[in-house]
Amino acid sequence: MPKDNIVKALNEQINAELYSAYLYYSMSACAASMNFNGFAAWLHVQAREELAHADKFYMHIIDRGGIVTLGPVQAPPSKWESIRTIFEDVSRHEQEVTARIHRLMDAAIQEKDHATQAFLQWFVNEQVEEERNSSALLERIRMIGASVGNLLYLDKEAGKRKAE
Protein backbone atom coordinates (compact mmCIF):
# COMPACT_ATOMS: atom_id res chain seq x y z
CA MET A 1 0.00 0.00 0.00
CA PRO A 2 1.30 3.53 -0.71
CA LYS A 3 2.28 5.68 2.29
CA ASP A 4 -0.46 7.88 3.77
CA ASN A 5 0.94 11.09 2.29
CA ILE A 6 0.91 9.52 -1.20
CA VAL A 7 -2.67 8.23 -0.81
CA LYS A 8 -3.68 11.73 0.34
CA ALA A 9 -1.98 13.33 -2.69
CA LEU A 10 -3.57 10.78 -5.06
CA ASN A 11 -7.01 11.51 -3.56
CA GLU A 12 -6.39 15.23 -3.99
CA GLN A 13 -5.57 14.54 -7.63
CA ILE A 14 -8.93 12.78 -8.14
CA ASN A 15 -10.51 16.03 -6.94
CA ALA A 16 -8.27 18.13 -9.21
CA GLU A 17 -9.14 16.00 -12.26
CA LEU A 18 -12.86 16.26 -11.47
CA TYR A 19 -12.44 20.03 -11.15
CA SER A 20 -10.75 20.04 -14.57
CA ALA A 21 -13.76 18.18 -15.99
CA TYR A 22 -16.11 20.71 -14.36
CA LEU A 23 -14.05 23.60 -15.73
CA TYR A 24 -14.08 22.24 -19.29
CA TYR A 25 -17.80 21.42 -19.17
CA SER A 26 -18.41 25.01 -18.08
CA MET A 27 -16.19 26.37 -20.85
CA SER A 28 -17.92 24.08 -23.36
CA ALA A 29 -21.34 25.38 -22.29
CA CYS A 30 -20.08 28.96 -22.57
CA ALA A 31 -18.71 28.35 -26.10
CA ALA A 32 -22.02 26.71 -27.08
CA SER A 33 -23.90 29.76 -25.77
CA MET A 34 -21.77 31.89 -28.16
CA ASN A 35 -22.72 29.51 -31.02
CA PHE A 36 -19.17 28.25 -31.45
CA ASN A 37 -20.23 24.63 -31.56
CA GLY A 38 -16.85 23.31 -32.74
CA PHE A 39 -14.94 24.80 -29.81
CA ALA A 40 -17.76 23.58 -27.54
CA ALA A 41 -17.30 20.04 -28.91
CA TRP A 42 -13.48 20.25 -28.41
CA LEU A 43 -13.96 21.33 -24.81
CA HIS A 44 -16.58 18.63 -24.24
CA VAL A 45 -14.09 15.96 -25.40
CA GLN A 46 -11.55 17.52 -23.03
CA ALA A 47 -14.01 17.39 -20.11
CA ARG A 48 -14.66 13.69 -20.72
CA GLU A 49 -10.93 12.98 -20.85
CA GLU A 50 -10.57 14.60 -17.43
CA LEU A 51 -13.25 12.25 -16.06
CA ALA A 52 -11.18 9.36 -17.41
CA HIS A 53 -8.09 10.81 -15.67
CA ALA A 54 -9.97 10.97 -12.36
CA ASP A 55 -10.99 7.34 -12.89
CA LYS A 56 -7.35 6.29 -13.43
CA PHE A 57 -6.35 7.82 -10.07
CA TYR A 58 -9.38 6.21 -8.39
CA MET A 59 -8.43 2.77 -9.75
CA HIS A 60 -4.77 3.19 -8.81
CA ILE A 61 -5.69 3.86 -5.17
CA ILE A 62 -8.07 0.87 -5.11
CA ASP A 63 -5.57 -1.44 -6.85
CA ARG A 64 -2.91 -0.54 -4.26
CA GLY A 65 -5.22 -1.19 -1.32
CA GLY A 66 -5.60 2.49 -0.39
CA ILE A 67 -8.76 4.26 0.79
CA VAL A 68 -10.51 6.55 -1.69
CA THR A 69 -11.74 9.72 0.03
CA LEU A 70 -13.84 12.09 -2.02
CA GLY A 71 -14.33 15.75 -1.12
CA PRO A 72 -16.44 18.55 -2.58
CA VAL A 73 -15.51 19.78 -6.04
CA GLN A 74 -15.09 23.52 -6.35
CA ALA A 75 -17.47 25.31 -8.72
CA PRO A 76 -15.75 26.60 -11.88
CA PRO A 77 -16.35 30.05 -13.40
CA SER A 78 -19.38 30.09 -15.68
CA LYS A 79 -18.65 33.02 -18.01
CA TRP A 80 -15.82 34.05 -20.30
CA GLU A 81 -15.71 37.13 -22.53
CA SER A 82 -14.54 35.40 -25.65
CA ILE A 83 -13.15 32.21 -27.19
CA ARG A 84 -9.67 33.69 -26.78
CA THR A 85 -10.08 34.15 -23.01
CA ILE A 86 -11.46 30.59 -22.70
CA PHE A 87 -8.38 29.14 -24.38
CA GLU A 88 -6.01 31.38 -22.42
CA ASP A 89 -7.51 29.79 -19.31
CA VAL A 90 -7.29 26.27 -20.81
CA SER A 91 -3.59 26.77 -21.52
CA ARG A 92 -2.88 28.24 -18.06
CA HIS A 93 -4.88 25.47 -16.38
CA GLU A 94 -2.96 22.71 -18.17
CA GLN A 95 0.35 24.27 -17.06
CA GLU A 96 -0.93 24.16 -13.48
CA VAL A 97 -1.97 20.51 -13.90
CA THR A 98 1.52 19.67 -15.19
CA ALA A 99 3.06 21.30 -12.10
CA ARG A 100 0.72 19.24 -9.86
CA ILE A 101 1.64 15.98 -11.62
CA HIS A 102 5.35 16.81 -11.29
CA ARG A 103 4.94 17.53 -7.56
CA LEU A 104 3.17 14.17 -7.17
CA MET A 105 6.01 12.43 -9.04
CA ASP A 106 8.57 14.18 -6.80
CA ALA A 107 6.72 12.86 -3.72
CA ALA A 108 6.56 9.31 -5.15
CA ILE A 109 10.31 9.42 -5.89
CA GLN A 110 11.04 10.71 -2.38
CA GLU A 111 8.98 7.84 -0.88
CA LYS A 112 10.61 5.30 -3.23
CA ASP A 113 7.07 4.35 -4.33
CA HIS A 114 7.98 2.72 -7.64
CA ALA A 115 4.44 1.59 -8.52
CA THR A 116 3.11 5.14 -8.19
CA GLN A 117 6.05 6.47 -10.22
CA ALA A 118 5.27 3.99 -13.03
CA PHE A 119 1.58 4.96 -12.86
CA LEU A 120 2.34 8.68 -12.94
CA GLN A 121 4.66 8.41 -15.96
CA TRP A 122 1.57 8.10 -18.20
CA PHE A 123 0.36 11.46 -16.85
CA VAL A 124 3.78 13.10 -17.31
CA ASN A 125 3.63 12.11 -21.00
CA GLU A 126 -0.05 13.04 -21.31
CA GLN A 127 0.64 16.55 -20.00
CA VAL A 128 3.22 17.15 -22.75
CA GLU A 129 0.44 16.45 -25.26
CA GLU A 130 -2.23 18.42 -23.36
CA GLU A 131 0.00 21.50 -23.11
CA ARG A 132 1.00 21.26 -26.78
CA ASN A 133 -2.62 20.90 -28.01
CA SER A 134 -4.00 23.73 -25.89
CA SER A 135 -1.15 26.16 -26.60
CA ALA A 136 -1.26 25.40 -30.36
CA LEU A 137 -4.98 26.18 -30.47
CA LEU A 138 -4.48 29.36 -28.42
CA GLU A 139 -1.70 30.55 -30.74
CA ARG A 140 -3.96 30.04 -33.78
CA ILE A 141 -6.79 31.95 -32.07
CA ARG A 142 -4.37 34.80 -31.27
CA MET A 143 -3.08 34.89 -34.87
CA ILE A 144 -6.62 35.21 -36.20
CA GLY A 145 -7.29 38.28 -34.03
CA ALA A 146 -10.59 39.98 -34.85
CA SER A 147 -11.35 38.05 -38.05
CA VAL A 148 -14.73 36.38 -37.40
CA GLY A 149 -14.54 34.42 -40.67
CA ASN A 150 -11.23 32.82 -39.70
CA LEU A 151 -12.49 32.14 -36.18
CA LEU A 152 -15.53 30.33 -37.62
CA TYR A 153 -13.18 28.26 -39.82
CA LEU A 154 -11.07 27.34 -36.77
CA ASP A 155 -14.28 26.53 -34.85
CA LYS A 156 -15.15 24.02 -37.58
CA GLU A 157 -11.64 22.51 -37.44
CA ALA A 158 -11.70 22.26 -33.63
CA GLY A 159 -15.05 20.44 -33.84
CA LYS A 160 -13.35 17.54 -35.67
CA ARG A 161 -11.52 16.49 -32.50
CA LYS A 162 -12.40 12.92 -31.65
CA ALA A 163 -12.53 11.33 -28.20
CA GLU A 164 -9.50 9.09 -27.57
Q: Which residues would be at the binding site for ligand FEO (CB under 6 A)?
A: 17, 20, 50, 53, 94, 97, 130
Q: Which one, 42 or 151, has the nearer CB to ligand FEO?
A: 42
Is the CB of residue 136 less than 8 Å from the CB of residue 87?
no
Beta carbon of residue 85, minimum distance to ligand FEO (angstroms, whole number)? 18
Name the residue number minimizing CB distance to ligand FEO. Answer: 53
Beta carbon of residue 125, minimum distance to ligand FEO (angstroms, whole number)? 12
Beta carbon of residue 17, minimum distance to ligand FEO (angstroms, whole number)? 5
Instruction: State how far the Cα of 147 lies from the Cα of 134, in Å rounded to an integer.
Output: 20
Beta carbon of residue 49, minimum distance to ligand FEO (angstroms, whole number)? 7
Of 48, 46, 34, 45, residue with least CA distance to 151: 34
CA distances from 38 to 2, 28, 41, 98, 146 (A): 42, 9, 5, 26, 18
Q: Which one, 97 or 151, has the nearer CB to ligand FEO?
A: 97
Q: Which one, 101 or 141, has the nearer CB to ligand FEO?
A: 101
Q: Which one, 94 or 155, has the nearer CB to ligand FEO?
A: 94
